[in-house]
Structure 1
């Protein structure tokens, strides 16, 4: 069994459906948590439900686009826990927009949150990670195959995949760096997509169902654990076979 007692997870974008599942999974495996999100109030409520004593969880508001706030996150981790063992970058933005009507601001916002935020946070937190630690960046199937109406999002996620491989080379052998690329996961984010063409997407998925947030969270936990001790610069797909089938 994976045991994270005595370990510290730093998780960004922690108030989303998938990232809440990641936080819950690591907490149940014994880890202490530093959680950040732009929605500080929602995050604080989630943390209080998960750990009513407040002894094992700290929270912080973070705009992923800000390098200064990434540095503040690292400093908060240093003050509260001294060091960290795992960093998972989960802050993301996914909005429909065709390229021909995409504004400069829409492009910059999506790239800023989904790509710049990964760079800023990894740069700030990597020096805090203990030897043998791990970074997992949350990418997306869109970063591998593209996505209609999401060119800005898929471009950012594709860059995250490449950035993570390069970072793995730079941080080895001290720290491992990997990605997880979720496909169609049962979250509020994909409800409009399911309403439009859910039956066709399920039919195209070899496992004939949506994934669960817990399945993504357990994959992240595996990559952070000693069970994945010889895995770095890799991406694990969690999509029920949809990527290869398409």
Structure 2
């Protein structure tokens, strides 16, 4: 029960990594609020509070803030997980793509931090969802790569400008088996070969699962990480530790 008595907001908690973080925080004793653009998922636990919110819209985030203050008074943990992925190169990317992806992945993170940081309790923890794609460019994901680099830069700025009021860190997942990862593999010329090659590049011998990221989020939300801020934590099974040479060929 590492989060007993804490109030946590996890954006994009409907599925995948977000749902795993919500579940883990609840098990650790937190009062958890989550949000998304659609209605409440039918399979969501009854003790999780749901608010229909598009984080790219500042007005809706302000309404979320008002509700949080009314119901809980203050916020201890903010996890910026909501995001989308578009599989396109720069030249194929449209203005609408920009609005959708940067709206969720960049403006959404900015909106929630700007609005909710003032109501966070002293020593609160902000956890942003970055990506290895913000450290090294994945092919065919130009705008997504750029959005995650933005998240990394914003994470450092918040840590520097607003400590010790809050700590702010980012998790940089690698290949975590969610619908988003499946979409990225699907654009390869040979999806099966792409997965096989990617797996061979993981020293741990497997792809990640959402609970791997939830475990890191728990540590960053807990008191055990109280001396940690402004950092990007890569959780990728060793993928980015290796040289570009395919280990299966040696």
Q: TM-score, normalised by structure 1?
A: 0.93
Task: Tell me by how many angstroms 1:160 deviates.
Answer: 0.5
Partner of 2:32: 33
> 1:140, 1:202 → 2: CA distance?
18
User: Which moves more between the two structures, 202-211 or 158-167?
Assistant: 202-211
Partner of 2:156: 165
User: Which moves more between the two structures, 182-191 or 13-22?
Assistant: 182-191
Partner of 2:247: none
What is the aligned-residue RMSD (CA, Å)? Answer: 1.3
> 1:105, 1:244 → 2: CA distance?
35
SS at match of 2:135: helix
Partner of 1:123: 114
> 1:98, 1:155 → 2: CA distance?
11
- Residue 22 (str. 1) matches residue 13 (str. 2): no
Q: Which has the higher helix share?
A: 1
> 1:105, 1:64 → 2: CA distance?
17
Partner of 1:91: 82
Task: Tell me by how many angstroms 1:112 deviates.
Answer: 1.0
**Aligned partner of 1:232 among 220, 229, 233:** 229
SS at match of 2:216: helix
**What runs of 5+ residues in structure 2 fail to find an aligned partner?**
245-250
**Aligned partner of 2:61 among 43, 59, 70:** 70
Partner of 2:93: 102
Partner of 1:200: 197
Partner of 1:10: 9
Contact 1:180 1:237 in 2 (8 A): yes
Q: How many residues align?
A: 237
4+ residue runs over 3 A deviation: none
- Deviation string, structure 1 residues 183-216 (Cα, Å, up to 9, x no partner): 0012122224173410000001111211111110
Contact 1:12 1:36 in 2 (8 A): yes
Partner of 2:137: 146
> 2:53, 2:179 → 1: CA distance?
22
